[in-house]
Amino acid sequence: MARKKCWLSWSSGKDSAWALHVLRQRDDLEVVGLLTTLNGAAERVAMHAVRRQLLLAQADAAGLPVHTVDLPWPCSNAEYEALMTVAVDEAKRQGVEVMAFGDLFLEDIRAYREERLEGTGLQAVFPLWGQPTDALAKAMVDGGLRARITCVDPKQLDPRFAGREWDHALLAELPGGVDPCFENGEAHTFCYAAPCFSAPIAIEGGEVVERDGFVFADLTPA
């Protein structure tokens, strides 16, 4: 049976990278592209604040084209949905039948994604859904995934974690109530090494700044 073509919603973070690793082990789907939203004004991945150059390095390491949606800033929900509709239409034009997401357990987010794809002909799949996040985080690190924290919500996590390596040592330091995979938006990451990459991406840490209520740690190509 022919495998269905799939695009993966790609945030540049650890969950996206692990989702690609998992999807590539399936025999019913073929991931043929990544889909990423960017803050068009800042030229950075939305929320993760990762430079476009590093996003392209990830796509190269994954051996996949990345389809970007450049969002205006500020961006209304109506503008966001209109631009995403254009992206979905392009996916369909390329023969894509499945859109995959790295979401873990937030039911409202899953319901929103499924609702937006309803009637488009694209099926939503969630390869990491429902896995206990403490065990999942350990499996990611043990499996060779490496990531750096690029954004922290200081209302949920101490800003000192910005710029830190997401590894076993950091996981052991997280206070109770903070999800080890940051599924509640406590922080966001940039994945620079993973089983789905042909080689690690060399990065250097930059300045840490507070902006729009979040703490961002810049990364640059080494």
Residue 184: CATH number of its domain: 3.40.50.620
152: helix, strand or coil: strand
pLDDT value of residue 3: 95
pLDDT value of residue 1: 73
Strand residue runs (E) in the chain: 4-9, 29-39, 44-45, 66-71, 98-100, 123-125, 146-152, 187-193, 203-211, 214-221
Residue 20 falls in which region: left (phi positive, over 0), alpha (psi -120 to 50) or beta: alpha
pLDDT means per 10 residues, the chain with 222 residues, are 94 98 97 96 91 98 97 91 95 97 97 95 97 98 98 98 98 96 98 98 97 96 95
CA dihedral in degrees (190, 193, 195, 199; nearest 10)?
A: 130
Q: What is the pTM of this model?
A: 0.96
**Count of the separate structural domains present in the chain:** 1
> What secondary structure does DSSP assign to 99-138, as a single string?
EE----S-HHHHHHHHHHHTTTTPEEE-TTTT--HHHHHH
Q: Which domain holds residue 159?
A: 4-221
